[in-house]
Amino acid sequence: MQDWFELAKQIDFKQDYALALLFQTEGSSYKKSGTIALVNSEQCIGLISGGCLEDDLQLRAKTVIEKNAPQLIQYDLTDDDDVFGFGAGCEGVLDIYLMPLLAKHNHANFKQILQAAVNDIDGKLNEEMNSNQRSCIAVFNLTTDKVTPIQIKRDKELFEHLTESKESRLKNNSSKSAQYLLPITQPKSVVIAGAGRDSYPVVKGALELGWRVTLIGHRKTNISKFEDRFRSHLGFSSQVIKFNSSLNGDEIKIFDKADALVVMTHNIMFDVELVRAGMTANIPYLGLLGPKKRAVKILGNVTNKLIKLFSGYLSSPIGIDIGSYSPMSIALSILSELNCFFYKPDKLTHPFDIKSELNQLSSKLPNQEQKSRLCD
């Protein structure tokens, strides 16, 4: 997946770049079709390969920028020499379009592509974008005789087709008017509830993975520490929200557009409030830190009706079992499961069985306690 936040944070619009678009691959490759990197003689933002081709791309980028002339490049690594070649070892074929992004030519419209990708308008998040506005496709004309600005196409049906099918995004490849259609997928949005010490590596890892992060906490001093530590991300790829004993209407809205909720407040009543909000929004992924017994206790304070309507993935205890024993390894476990849920959901094990666990709980409780804990 493309890390749009990395590109948006590191690009300097006063400088000239060459945009490297990996538009076709054959065989093994480190990155897949649709990957973008920004290259000039000083830096390379993003990766096209594991690092073996980037030095050569920087040399080519200098010529592309100086002559303002795009290039089509093919790296055939199927018979690459370990000593005199690139030494990549991937044994694949990579086709790359290298086009100049010059400041004096408005970087060929690339700023508008970034704004669409990170849902950002002149440094401010645009939370009111509808599904059609979000369904953006970047159209690259793969010409070498002139520079054609990147176009933005808004077509919800085509966007869904490109993201769901394995059909090639390369069109008219046999002619001089070849185009590459790149659907601009929004970064994943993760809500992390809890501003304790164990949340730091989870927040940091999620940001480094290119996800948008919303941190919710109820301790003012802890919230301030997070704001100081992640100040460069605030208002861009993350936000911090403080809540008291309950969530207000504006705070609850964040769950409607989130892809995942990680609950780790270490306060069971706050956790109950958050789980109710997450289930009400039918959030796709809901993960609870702590043992399974604790999750059952939390869910015992959620109505059966709400539980039955919830169709998301519930994880408890959250994360993949890798023998975690520290905040860093727990974060690794949580982030690994989230990444798997987002991009390889079929590889996940079965989710937490709410019905079975609550039935076991109710059978152990007196009748009166069942009524107070397991609401209808």
| Band of residue 371 on the pLDDT scale cut at 50, 70, 90 | very low
The answer to whether 10 touches 116, Cβ cutoff 8 Å, is no
CA dist., res. 71 & res. 62, Å (int): 12
Q: How sure is the predictor about 336, in pLDDT bands with cuts at 50, 70 and 90?
A: very high
Q: Do 126 and 136 meet the contact criterion of CB atoms below 8 Å apart?
A: no
Name residue 93's beta-bridge partners: 26, 76
Amino acid at residue number 95: D
Tell me, letter by letter, the H, E, C secondary structure of the chain: CCCHHHHHHHCCCCCCEEEEEEEEEECCCCCCCCEEEEECCCCEECCCCCCCCHHHHHHHHHHHHHHCCCEEEEEECCCCCCCCCCCCCCCCEEEEEEEEECHHHHHHHHHHHHHHHCCEECCEECCCCCHHHHCEEEEEECCCCCCCCCEEEECHHHHHHHHHCCCCCEECCCCCCCEEEEECCCCCEEEEECCCHHHHHHHHHHHHCCCEEEEEECCHHHHHHHHHHCHHHECCCEEEEECCCCCCHHHHHHHCCCCEEEECCCCHHHHHHHHHHHHHCCCCEEEECCCHHHHHHHHCCCCHHHHHHCCCEEECCCCCCCCCCCHHHHHHHHHHHHHHHHHCHHHCCCCCCHHHHHHHHHHHCCHHHHHHHCCC
Please give the structure tokens belonging to residue 209.
Answer: 């993975």
For residue 249, report the phi and psi dihedrals to the nearest 5 degrees. -60, -45
Residues 294-304, mean pLDDT to the nearest whole number: 89
At 373, is the pLDDT very low, low, confident or very high (cuts 50, 70, 90)?
Answer: very low
CA distances from 145 to 132, 141, 151, 182 (A): 33, 11, 18, 22
**CA dist., res. 158 & res. 179, Å (int):** 15
Please state the rounded mean pLDDT for residues 255-274: 92
pLDDT of 153 above 50:
yes
Query: Span 302-329, mean pLDDT?
Result: 90
Which tokens is 364 given?
């152990």
Mean pLDDT check: name the lowest of 83-97, 239-253, 255-269: 239-253
Question: Residue holding tokens 């592509």?
Answer: 113
- Give dist(CA 142, CA 96) in Å, integer: 10
Q: Which top CATH class is 189-373?
A: alpha beta
pLDDT at position 16 over 90: yes
Q: How far is residue 263's CA from residue 362's CA, in Å, rounded to a whole number?
A: 24
Q: What is the pLDDT of residues 32-76, one digit of tens each?
A: 889 999 999 888 999 888 778 989 999 999 999 999 999 999 998
The first and second tokens of residue 53, run together, are 């081709």
Burial of 257 (0-12, 13-18, 19+ CB in 10 A): middle
Q: Compare 305 and 261 and report the one with higher pLDDT.
A: 261
List pLDDT tens digits, range 205-240. 998 888 888 888 877 667 777 777 776 665 555 666
64-112 per-position pLDDT tens digit: 999 999 999 999 888 655 433 555 556 789 999 999 999 999 999 999 9
Average pLDDT, whole number, for the chain? 82
- Give 66's contacts (C-beta < 8 A, 6+ positions apart): none
* Burial profile 217-235: b = 16 or more Cβ within 10 angstroms, e = fewer: bbeeebbeebbeebeebee
The answer for 168, left when phi > 0, alpha when psi is -120 to 50, beta otherwise, is beta
- For 117-126, 255-264, 353-362, which range has the lowest pLDDT when averaged over its residues? 117-126
Which of 89-103, 153-167, 234-248 is predicted least confidently? 234-248
Task: State the Cα–Cα distance between residues 223 and 174, nearest whole angstrom.
Answer: 56
pLDDT of residue 180: 93
Q: What pLDDT is stored for residue 359 in this prediction?
A: 65
Residue 27 has pLDDT above 90, yes or no: no
Please report, for the chain, the start and end positions of each structural domain, with discontinuous segments joined by +: 15-183, 189-373
pLDDT confidence band for 349 (50 / 70 / 90) = confident
Among 50-54, 113-117, 123-127, 328-332, the range of highest mean pLDDT: 328-332
- For the chain, what percent of residues have pLDDT higher than 90? 39
pLDDT at 289 over 50: yes
- The pLDDT value recorded for residue 40 is 92
Counting every residue written for the chain, the total comes to 376
